[in-house]
Amino acid sequence: MKPLLALIVVLFFAQPALAFHCPADMAEIDTALAADPQISAEQLVKVKELRAEGETLHKAGNHQRSVEVLQEAKDILGLK
């Protein structure tokens, strides 16, 4: 019973942590875009699409998927 309770507590606190991660990722992407990244026009379009999708997912409460999508955009931009 204790392991199940521990798992529930961890999951309860992990969700808000992911929620706060999304805005930081979006801000990092926005900063990189403002700095005129050296990427192709196709990559730029893709990054903007991923950034918008990540924000939509964040607002819908799907923080895990938002983090994943935003990471794709960060990867294209060469951000960690």
**Cα–Cα distances in angstroms (integers) from residue 13 to residues 19, 54, 55, in the given order:** 10, 21, 21
If pLDDT is split at 50, 70 and 90, which confidence band does 5 have? low
CA dihedral 72, 76, 77, 80 (to 10 degrees): 50
Q: What's the confidence (pLDDT) of residue 8?
A: 55
Rg (C-alpha) for the chain, rounded Å, is 15
Share of residues in the chain with pLDDT > 70 (%): 75
Domain locations along the chain: 2-77
Average pLDDT, the chain: 84
User: Which of 37, 39, 75, 78 is CA-nearest to residue 54?
Assistant: 75
Report pLDDT digits (tens) over 28-52.
999 999 998 899 999 999 999 999 9
